[in-house]
Amino acid sequence: MFARSRTHRLRRFVLTGAVLAAAAGLAGPASAAHAAESADAAAATTGAHGTFSVHRDGRPAVVPFRTGRDGEALVTLTVAAPGVDWGKAGAESAVVQLFVDGRPAGDVVVFGATPTERGFALGALRKGRHELSIRFAADRSSPAGSVVHISRLRTRTIATGDREHAVAANAPVLYGRNIPGAPGGATGPFQNAVTDTPVLAWYQEAPAATAGNRVLTYTIVWSNEDGGTSTPALMARWGRTTDIEWAYRVEVDRRGRAVPGTAFFQSPNHGTTPFAGRYEDGHPLLQTCTLNNNLCDVVDDPMRFAPAAVERLADPTRTAREEMVDRHPWVYPVMVREMRREGRVVADPPADTTTLIADPTDYLYAVIRKTTSEPPAGAAGWNGVALGVRVKGDPTLYRSDRGRVDWSLQRDDPAATTVRLPHGTQASDIVEVVVIRTVAGVDPGGTITVHGINRAFLLGRDDRPGRAVPVHPESVTLTAAAPQAVLYRR
Domain residue ranges of the chain, discontinuous segments joined by +: 1-157, 170-355, 359-489
Among the residue ranges 180-194, 264-278, 414-428, the one predicted with the least confidence is 180-194
Instruction: Give the Cα separation of 239 and 336 in Å (integer).
Output: 13
**Cα–Cα dist 400/408, whole Å:** 7
Q: Indicate whether 79 pLDDT > 80.
A: yes
Residue 39: band (very low, low, confident or very high) from pLDDT cuts 50, 70, 90: very low
Tens digit of each residue's pLDDT (9 = 90 or more) over 336-379: 999 999 999 999 999 889 899 999 999 999 999 999 999 999 99
Q: What are the tens digits of pLDDT across the range 93-109?
A: 999 999 999 999 999 99
Q: In what order do the strands lie in the sheet with 30-31?
A: 30-31, 61-67, 128-136, 94-100, 103-110
CA distances from 425 to 138, 358, 363, 392, 419 (A): 42, 13, 9, 10, 12
pLDDT tens, residue by residue, 478-487? 999 999 999 9
- pLDDT at residue 163 in the model: 92
CATH number of 1-157: 2.60.120.260
Looking at the chain, the whole-number percentage of residues with pLDDT higher than 70 is: 90
Choose between 16 and 65: higher pLDDT. 65
Q: What average pLDDT does the segment 69-95 reach?
A: 98
Write down the mean pLDDT value for the chain.
90
Helix (H, G, I), strand (E, B) or coil at 332: helix
CB 182 within 8 A of CB 196: yes
CB 84 within 8 A of CB 122: no
Query: What does the pLDDT look like over 128-144, one tens digit per residue?
Result: 999 999 999 999 999 99
Per-residue model confidence (pLDDT) at position 184: 79
Predicted confidence band of residue 463 (pLDDT cuts 50, 70, 90) = very high
pTM flag (> 0.75): yes
Res. 409 pLDDT band, cuts 50 70 90: very high
Alpha-carbon dihedral sign for residues 257, 323, 110, 342: positive
For the chain, percent of residues with pLDDT exceeding 90: 86
Per-residue pLDDT at 186:
81
Residue 283 has pLDDT above 80, yes or no: yes
Domain 359-489 has CATH 2.60.60: yes
C-beta of residue 398 within 8 angstroms of C-beta of residue 419:
yes
Give the mean model confidence (pLDDT) for residues 170-182.
Answer: 95
What pLDDT does 259 receive?
A: 98
DSSP code string of 64-88:
EEEESSSEEEEEEEEEE-TT-BTTS
d(CA 22, CA 4): 36
